[in-house]
Amino acid sequence: MSRTVPDRRDPQPPARRGDGVAGGIRHAAYGALMGAADTVPGVSGGTVAFVCGIYPRLIDALRDGARALGHVAKGRFRQGWTELRGVDWALLVPLLAGIIVAIFSLASVMERGLEEHPVRLSGLFLGLVVGSVVVSVRQIRRPDRLGWLLVVAVALALFLVLGLRSETTGETGDPTSVPTWAYPAAAAVAICAMILPGISGAFILVMLGMYGPVLGAVNERDLLRLGIFAIGAVLGLGAFSRLLGALMDRYHDRVVAVMIGLMLGSVRVLWPWPGGTDTTTLAVPRDDVVVPVVLGVIGFVAVVVLARIANLREEPVPHPG
C-alpha cells in the first residue's frame, strides 16, 4: 500500500495551532527574548528558541527561505517565488520583529547593566542556561552512551576554548575602527552561533574583535554598517540553516546532545564570580552571593515553566516520511 508523503515545498504550508493574532504575539515575544539573549556574550538566542519549542520549526523555515533565495540567485525566479510562498512567514515575521525591537531597545540597557551589576546578571543568565539544559535533556528521544559521551566531550571542548581569552566584552568601540568588509564577514560567522543553543553569537563577535564596533553601530543607529552586517547574516544563516536542518532530520538525538554540551560549556562565561560575563576567569563565590543565587533560581524556574507552556501550545513541523 502506498503512503502519501507530505511535500515540504508545498506553497501552502499546513495550518499550525497557535498561529493568528495570538500566535503572532507569542512569537514576537519569543523573538524579543532571543534578541535580548543575543546582546549578551555567553547567552544564545538559539537556546531561547529551543526552550520555547519553536526550534525545529525555525530551522525548517530558515532552510525553506534559503532554498528560495538559492533559486532566485540562480535566476529561477518562478521557482524562487513558489518557494517563498511556502516559507513559514507566520513564524519568521513576528519573530524577526521581536528580535530587532529587543536588540535596539536593550543594547544600551544591557551594556549598562553588565557594567553596573555584572555578577548579579550573570547569576540570572546562569540559571537560564541550566534550566535550558534540563529542558533540552528531555528532547533526546533515545538516550544512549554515545549521546552522553558527546555531551561531555563537546562541553569540555567549549569550556577549554572559551578559556583561551580571559576578557569577553571589551570596550564599546567605534563603528569606524574596523574596515567595512569586516561587518558582513563577522556576521556570517556569528549568526551561525546565534541559532545554536549554547554558543553566543555576541561572544563570537568578541573573539573576532567585532563586539565593540557592532554594539557601537547599534547604539549610534549606523544604518549603513548595520545593513551590511545584516546582509552577511542572511547569507551565513542561509547556508548554515540548510546544513543544520538536514542534520536535525537525520541525527536528531546526536545534534541535541551536541547542543546540550555547548550549553554546559558556556558556563565558563556565565559563572558569576569574579566578574560576571566580563571574564572567563573562574573563582569561588564570595561577597555578592545571595542575590545572584536567587536570580539564578528565578531564571531556572522561568525557563522550565516557559518550556512547559510552550510545549502545550506549539506543534512540531511535520517532516517527510
Beta bridge partners of residue 167, listed in sequence order: 279
121-163: pLDDT as tens digits: 888 888 878 887 887 788 788 889 999 999 999 999 988 887 7
Considering only CA atoms, give the Rg of the chain.
20
Residue 56 counted as domain residue: yes
Over residues 18-77, the pLDDT tens digits come to 467 888 888 898 888 888 877 766 567 777 887 777 888 888 888 888 888 777 877 888
Which amino acid type is present at position 290?
V
Using CA atoms, how far apart are residues 286 and 59, in angstroms rounded to an integer? 41
Q: Is residue 14 part of a domain?
A: no
Per the domain annotation, does 320 fall within a domain? no
Give the predicted TM-score (pTM) of the model. Answer: 0.65
Does residue 5 belong to any structural domain of this protein? no
Residue 281 falls inside a structural domain? yes
Quick check: 31 and 94 in contact, CB under 8 A? Answer: yes
Contact predicate 190/235, CB 8 Å: no
For 192-210, write each residue's pLDDT tens digit. 777 776 566 776 776 676 7
User: How far is 263 from 47, CA to CA, in rounded Å?
Assistant: 8
Using CA atoms, how far apart are residues 237 and 242, in angstroms rounded to an integer? 8
DSSP summary character for residue 13: P
Residue 310's alpha-carbon distances to 44, 77, 98, 305, in angstroms, are: 18, 37, 17, 9
Segments forming the whole domain that contains residue 189: 21-313
| Residue 4 domain flag | no
Nearest to 272 by CA among 250, 255, 288, 252: 288
| Tally of domains within the chain | 1
| DSSP secondary structure letter of residue 49 | H
pLDDT at 85 over 70: yes
Any residues with CB less than 8 A from the CB of 264 and at least 6 apart, and which? Answer: 133, 151, 154, 155, 158, 159, 198
Residue with cell 535566476: 75
The whole-chain average pLDDT of the chain stands at 78
